[in-house]
Amino acid sequence: MQHITVFSSTVGGLLIGLGSAGVLLAQRRVAGVSGIAGGLLAFRSGDMGWRALFLVGLVAGGVAGALLAPNQLSMSGTLSTPWLVASGLLVGFGSRLGGGCTSGHGVCGLGRLSKRSMIATPTFMLTAGVVVFVVRHLLGAH
Amino acid sequence: MLGALLSGLVFGVGLVLSGMTQPAKVIAFLDVTGAWDPSLAFVMAGAIAVYAPVYHLLRKRTVFTALDTHVSEPIDARLVVGAVIFGAGWGLGGFCPGPGFTALGGGAPQAFVFVAAMLAGMCGYRLFQRSRPEQDGAFSIPPPAASVASAAGAQSLAASRNDCA
């Protein structure tokens, strides 16, 4: 049972928006994490540094979180390794095929009123909801 | 460059604070038929509340061809199928790309497994894309009709088309 965390979730959201806006201002780029990471795998010279640094910043945020509020990084309830591998493969492939993830479509795309993101965001949320229902309730996986 | 690092840090701290780095909380948000935790809706609302005005103000003041990608982007099968595949993975593991990277900072083995598999999936996409160039809508879009698109503009458009959204 999760507690509803309106305040910390809202403040966290504001910071995520600020970080995304920072990428927009500093790099003139859309801060979709899947796009930033996927672009890194293209190994285009001159386009690597800012992507790598952004990802280093993301990890550093996690390090700070682990030191200050380790409960916020609790891995309780995660499925076993084969499930996690499957989930990672799907997230990596799907986010690149669909041109975005929760940040690229869900925050930046909706924020700039992109029609593609208005289609993609409800699509992935609905699919994720159905998968949670099937895996957690019908199959009872833990 | 320093801007990118700082942005990533602020983004990462935001993810930790928001609850997005707890897969159980993400699952609880997606589990509308179970003990539903709507908290993460506030994350999206908060993030858009900051991002949208910055984007629209910036766009009003300057012509950024690279930002106007949505004008010429198609709504096609790739978008929908990609979103379905991504959503399936997100629901399965409770991780999406940003929180995956940030969770690495906590040192949990689950985060390393997820991120490694995610990067493999992204490499898989590159191979998939290379194997069927005739289907490659992502890099064959015509330059925007607006005459502001110089060669450099079109190039940055093509580059940003490779990014999210």
Dist CA A18 CA B81 (whole Å): 30
Optimal mutation site among B21, B22, B26, B51, interface A, most CBs of chain A within 10 A: B51
Q: Give me the numbers of helices (H) and strands (E) for chain A, helices first please.
A: 6, 0
Chain B residues touching A57 at Cβ < 8 A = 4-12
| pLDDT tens digits along B37-68 | 999 999 999 999 999 999 999 887 765 545 54
Dist CA A105 CA A116 (whole Å): 8
| Whether B95 contacts A67, CB under 8 Å | no
Chain B residues touching A58 at Cβ < 8 A = 8-9, 11-12, 15, 98, 101-102, 105
Query: What distances in angstroms separate CA B62 from CA B59, B68, B165, one per listed residue?
Result: 5, 11, 20
Percent of chain B with pLDDT over 90: 63
Average pLDDT over residues B141-151: 41
When CB atoms are compared, the residue of A49, A65, A93 closest to B121 is A93
Chain A residues touching B90 at Cβ < 8 A = 87, 91, 102, 124, 128, 131
Average pLDDT over residues B23-42: 94
